[in-house]
Structure 1
């Protein structure tokens, strides 16, 4: 597994969205923007399959709207281990 970059400051999270289409990735990014302040997204090709990868920074110290209860609770939906292809 490749090492991750530097850890973001407290209250911020680096988010990577990988989707088959740019529109799907943008929809997910827009959902995050409805809850939290974010940086401008950066878009990259996701590989030879033609997908899209978006990067953005989320500032959880500046909510834009109340987060949904499952988001605010911080509960995980499953395993806490990184995916094999996470970089």
Structure 2
């Protein structure tokens, strides 16, 4: 048996096996909050209804931090009331 091919430097291949597709997606979402990642690929796990999910994460370039709702909802400086607010 030949050894698995290693990902390029700065990348890590992640395999998630879960009882449901939703559980696998939740774990992938948590990883994406910390690491930039490729599009996930999912496969069924035999007839059990489980899901195997693969994605590659970039361990060098992290995604931009999400802004809290309050910060992202602040006015842009133009504080004039809109016509539908009068």
- Normalised TM-score (structure 1): 0.68
Q: Which runs of at least 4 in structure 1 moved beyond 2 Å after TM superposition?
A: 2-5
Structure 2 residue 10 is matched with structure 1 residue 8 = no
> How many residues end up aligned between the 2 structures?
65
Which stretches in structure 2 are left out of the alignment for 5+ residues? 66-86
- Secondary structure of the corresponding residue to residue 12 of structure 2: strand
Which stretches in structure 1 are left out of the alignment for 5+ residues? 67-87
* Superposition pairs of residues 1-87 of structure 1, within 5 angstroms: 3-64=2-63
Alignment RMSD (CA, Å): 1.7
- Normalised TM-score (structure 2): 0.68
- Contact persistence 1:36–1:65 (CA under 8 A): no
**CA offsets 1:41-68 (integer angstroms, 9 cap, x no match):** 00100122110010000000111268xx
Tell me the distance in 2 between the aligned counterparts of 1:23 and 1:3. 33
The structure with higher relative contact order (CA 8 Å, sep 6+) is: 1
Tell me the distance in 2 between the aligned counterparts of 1:65 and 1:53. 27
- Secondary structure of the corresponding residue to residue 7 of structure 2: coil
